[in-house]
């Protein structure tokens, strides 16, 4: 019978073969430090109208409530940094939404990795997560040794930056665990704080989600407050400002995922093109894109807000 360390090595090798950039493994346990932070974040109303963030408080902190007798949390990262960017003079979309919806693409790869693990270890009970359940993915990525959380709250990796998705496999199988990433390499840099036009990044390494451009353009279903007028810097879906200015992202390299290659129109359309977009064109361009979350009406709302 192979030892736990050998299992971990083979799982990481298979994750790399499937296209994941990084893979780390942590012991499934209660996130004691995160409990205090999450409670305060919610009390301060930093989740805005994202009421779902108030749900499943205990499950967010303890993976054993998501998977019976969970013993391991496998954290993975998947690069989405694009080779080509949108035109300079246009309304902008966050880079993660350029191509097809990442949920489906990564979930399929997690399914393959799960199949590999079952063949390797035997029958296991587990679940796969891709930003769609109450899992504190950045905390688990840190515990799995993938990187550290920057002042913009995103996970950073020294040689890769932050333009990657995070995903998790939670299993009832014991594995060899990685050392947590405990060194913060942001130092005295405040580029992300200084660049955020809505001051959503607070000095104490906290994000006021209710002020984030991504929140306004995706999560908020009501009208965007007039107090935000002129502060979006032409972002119509999501925002990459805090990532674009981060010095660590000079190490970002283009992804090799064909399904993340954007529709030609995404890169070529100018402001006038976007302002005149029809629902038919919207459905064509974003047929399989995460942009569909905001729906045509939501994108039009955002464009009207930017135009006025």
Given 131, 172, 244, 273, which residue is catalytic? 131
Catalytic status, residue 131 = yes
* DSSP secondary structure, the chain, as one string: ---HHHHHHHHHHHHHHTT-SEEEEEE----HHHHHHHHHHHHTTTTTT-GGGGTTHHHHH-GGGTSTT--EEEEEEEE---SS---SSS-EE-GGGSSS-HHHHHHHHHHHHHHHHHHHH-S--EEEESSSSS--HHHHHHHTTS-EE-TTS-EEBTTTBS-EEEEEEEESS--PPPPP------TT--HHHHH-TT--EETTTEE-GGG-HHIIIII--SPPPGGGTT-STTEEE---HHHHT-GGGGG------GGGSPPHHHHH--HHHHHT--HHHHHHHTTTSGGGGGHHHHHHHHHHHHH-
What's the CA gap between 26 and 29, in Å, rounded? 9
Q: Within 10 A of 77 (CB to CB), how many other CB atoms are there?
A: 25
Which are the catalytic amino acids?
131
């Amino acid at each position: 019978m192979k030892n736990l360390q050998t299992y971990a090595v083979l799982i990481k090798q298979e994750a790399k073969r499937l296209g994941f950039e990084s893979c780390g493994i942590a012991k499934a346990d209660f996130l004691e430090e995160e409990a205090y932070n999450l409670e305060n974040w919610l009390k301060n109303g930093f989740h805005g109208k994202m009421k779902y963030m108030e749900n499943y408080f205990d499950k967010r902190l303890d993976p054993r409530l998501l998977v019976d007798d969970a013993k391991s949390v496998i954290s993975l990262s998947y690069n989405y940094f694009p080779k080509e960017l949108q035109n300079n003079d246009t309304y902008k979309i966050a880079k993660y939404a350029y191509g097809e919806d990442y949920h489906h693409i990564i979930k399929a790869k997690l399914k393959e990795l799960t199949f590999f693990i079952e063949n390797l270890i035997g029958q296991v009970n587990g679940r796969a997560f891709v930003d769609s359940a109450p899992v504190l993915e950045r905390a688990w990525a840190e515990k799995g040794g993938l990187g550290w959380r920057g002042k913009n709250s995103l996970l950073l990796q020294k040689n890769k930056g932050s333009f990657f998705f995070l995903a998790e496999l939670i299993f009832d199988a014991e594995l060899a665990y990685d050392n947590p990433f405990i060194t913060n390499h942001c130092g005295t840099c405040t580029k992300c704080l200084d660049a955020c036009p809505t001051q959503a990044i607070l000095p104490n390494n906290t994000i006021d989600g209710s002020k984030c451009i991504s929140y306004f353009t995706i999560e908020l279903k009501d009208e965007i407050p007039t107090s935000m007028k002129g502060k979006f810097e032409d972002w119509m879906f999501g925002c990459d400002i805090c990532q674009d200015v981060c010095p660590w992202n000079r190490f970002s390299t283009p992804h090799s995922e064909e399904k993340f290659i954007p529709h030609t129109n995404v890169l070529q359309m100018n402001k006038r093109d976007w302002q005149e977009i029809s629902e038919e064109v919207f459905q064509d361009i974003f047929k399989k894109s995460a942009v569909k979350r905001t729906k045509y009406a939501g994108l039009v709302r955002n464009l009207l807000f930017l135009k006025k």
